[in-house]
Amino acid sequence: DCGLLTYPNAFELQKKAREQRIQKKIPDLFLLTSHPAVFTLGKRPCEEDFLSSRAVIEKEKIEIIQSNR
C-alpha cells in the first residue's frame, strides 16, 4: 500500500516499477495508491469536455494534468 500520493508521484512510481519489472529486477507486483482529485488531459486535449469551467476547477483546487495516456 503506497498510501496517498500526488498524481505525478503515483505515475512516476508506476513508470519506475514498470521499468524495473521489464528488466526483471523485481517480481510481479500490485501497486495500491490513491491521489487527490485531478483532471487529466490525454493525447487529445479535450478541456472543452469538462462539465465545469477552469475557474470552478481551480477554485476547488483540482489539478489539471497533461498525460500521455
Q: What are phi and psi of 32, to 5 degrees?
A: -120, 120
Beta bridge partners of 3: 33
pTM of the shown model: 0.73
Grid coordinates in use for 41? 488531459
In this predicted model, which residue has the larger pLDDT, 50 or 45? 50
- E strands, the chain, where? 3-4, 33-34, 38-41, 63-66
State how far the Cα of 69 lies from the Cα of 65, in Å rounded to an integer: 11
pLDDT at 36: 93
Provide mean pLDDT across the span 47-67.
87
Q: Please check whether residue 4 is in contact with residue 34, taking contact to mean a CB–CB distance below 8 angstroms.
A: yes
- State pLDDT tens for residues 23-39: 999 999 999 999 999 98
